[in-house]
Amino acid sequence: MLRVIMKKIESSSFFIGRQGDGIISFGSGQPDLPPPKEVFSVLSGKQRTFKYGLIQGEERLRNLLANEYKGSDAHNFVICNGASEALDLIFRVLSGDLKRRKVLMPRPYYYSYPFIVKFAGLTPVFTDLKDGRIDLNDFEKKVRGCAAVLINSPSNPTGRVENIETLKQIEKITQNSGIHLISDEVYKDLIYERENYVPKGKRVITVNSFSKTFGMCGLRVGYLYSPDKDLVQKTIEMKVHTSMNTNTMAQEMAAAALLAPKSYIEKQKEIWKKRRDFIYQGLLDLGLDLWRPEGAFYVFPRVKNSSKVVYDLYYKYKVIVYDGSWFGSPDRIRLSYALDIEKIKEGLKRIGNYVKNA
């Protein structure tokens, strides 16, 4: 009997770091744009000590962050190895205290979320997006009995931005039910349509990063902010027994990025927006069905068999795209437009050839 061998690429780890050999990668969500030039002044050779730093993070950086969050001070922050560590720590800290064990998140989700929650011994549960946005009716039903909610707007992978009204409702529902709200704000500065709204409140934990806004993902600097100083203290206690301090030189660079003129972010946003328009129109012209991204730098078009598309595009056309099933959405693929317009053009041409020949 003939056995059909399913050709499938199982996760993004197959693609991360893959480049050269004529490959066009719409894969990894790492900005190709340079960080603010001010960041490089830290490399001028003045740094003479490489000792352990404060586990909570360098005070100067935390003070600068406190300027950005009304009512906060340096004690409300923990500087982490990217938003990734902030998320990992906070769920493990919460897990120690919580009676309820479920964590609600919108689906499609950033692919690490279910893993991070499960590694903390908690159980991910899902509210499915409706037309790419949170459906408050479903949210209200599913949130009952949950310990925490994890949201991300603008969203990876959808590129959608939640309405301010929805965010305020979520803020209210979670606050009234004593549920923690973890708001992953790593794309908060990359919105093309309007100002962002960052949820606030006693039980809100804000996670953010220097990876996306400032193009510094390899330096691994992120943070969590919580008005609850006990929670901050517990996070520090966990960090001292796991990764210790975050790289001190990278933290100096993060401080330099925060002090760079704000026009840096505006200029980056113009570039992202041009790319957004280009790839969105290009995929529409190929006949694909997709949402127009309102933030971040991803498009998430519909396809029939995402695993096959990912496999074929890579092996036959040298194009990397991510499988929607990694994000809880097997009927889509994710493309990051963190590459210049010329490469996007070439990638679209190859995808066009694939679509024609499929």
Chain residue whose CB lies nearest ligand PLP = 82
Which one of 2-10, 79-87, 233-241, 274-282 is the stretch in contact with ligand PLP (CB under 6 A)?
A: 79-87
Which one of 16-24, 139-147, 209-217, 235-243 is the stretch in contact with ligand PLP (CB under 6 A)?
A: 209-217
Q: How many residues does the chain have?
A: 358
In three-state secondary structure terms, 337 is: coil
Which one of 35-43, 77-85, 266-274, 303-311 is the stretch in contact with ligand PLP (CB under 6 A)?
A: 77-85
Near ligand PLP in 315-344, by CB under 6 A:
none
User: Nearer Cβ to ligand PLP, position 84 or 306?
Assistant: 84
Q: Does 215 bind ligand PLP (CB under 6 A)?
A: no
Q: How far is the CB of 83 from ligand PLP (least distance, A)?
A: 3
The footprint of ligand PLP on this chain (CB under 6 A) covers a number of residues equal to 13
Instruction: Read off φ and ψ for residue 22, nearest 5 degrees.
Output: 75, 10
Q: How far is the CB of 12 from ligand PLP (least distance, A)?
A: 10
Q: How far is the CB of 91 from ligand PLP (least distance, A)?
A: 13
Instruction: Read off φ and ψ for residue 138, nearest 5 degrees.
Output: -65, -40
Report which of 339, 258, 319, 229 is spatially closest to residue 23, judged by C-alpha positions.
Answer: 319
* Chain mean position to CA 299: 14
In three-state secondary structure terms, 137 is: helix
DSSP letters, 179-236, are -EEEEE-TTTT-BSSS------STTEEEEEESTTTTS-GGG--EEEE-S-HHHHHHHH
Among 82, 215, 282, 293, binds ligand PLP (CB under 6 A): 82
Near ligand PLP in 138-157, by CB under 6 A:
152, 156
Q: Does 110 bind ligand PLP (CB under 6 A)?
A: yes
Q: For residue 71, how many other CB atoms are within 10 A of its CB?
A: 8
Question: Alpha-carbon distance 335 to 332, whole Å?
Answer: 10
As a dihedral over the C-alpha atoms of residue 341, residue 343, residue 344, residue 346, rounded to 10 degrees, the angle is 120
Report which of 53, 98, 38, 94 is spatially closest to residue 248, judged by C-alpha positions.
Answer: 53
Binding pattern to ligand PLP, positions 160-199, x when CB under 6 A? ------------------------x-x-------------
Q: How far is the CB of 222 from ligand PLP (least distance, A)?
A: 4
Q: How far is the CB of 46 from ligand PLP (least distance, A)?
A: 26
Which one of 42-50, 76-84, 268-276, 299-307 is the stretch in contact with ligand PLP (CB under 6 A)?
A: 76-84
DSSP 51: -
Question: Alpha-carbon distance 52 to 246, whole Å?
Answer: 9
User: Nearer Cβ to ligand PLP, position 15 or 110?
Assistant: 110
Which one of 45-53, 80-88, 118-126, 136-144 is the stretch in contact with ligand PLP (CB under 6 A)?
A: 80-88
Q: How far is the CB of 353 from ligand PLP (least distance, A)?
A: 29
Report which of 96, 83, 151 is spatially closest to residue 122, judged by C-alpha positions.
Answer: 96
Q: Does 222 bind ligand PLP (CB under 6 A)?
A: yes
Answer whether 161's CB lies under 8 Å from 128's CB.
no
In three-state secondary structure terms, 108 is: coil
Q: How far is CA 110 from CA 54, 128, 229, in A?
A: 30, 13, 28
User: Nearer Cβ to ligand PLP, position 108 or 282?
Assistant: 108
Residue 233 corresponds to which tokens in the numbers above? 């203290």
Q: How far is the CB of 352 from ligand PLP (least distance, A)?
A: 27
Near ligand PLP in 3-32, by CB under 6 A:
29
Residues of this chain that interact with ligand PLP (CB under 6 A) are 29, 82-84, 110, 152, 156, 184, 186, 209, 211, 217, 222
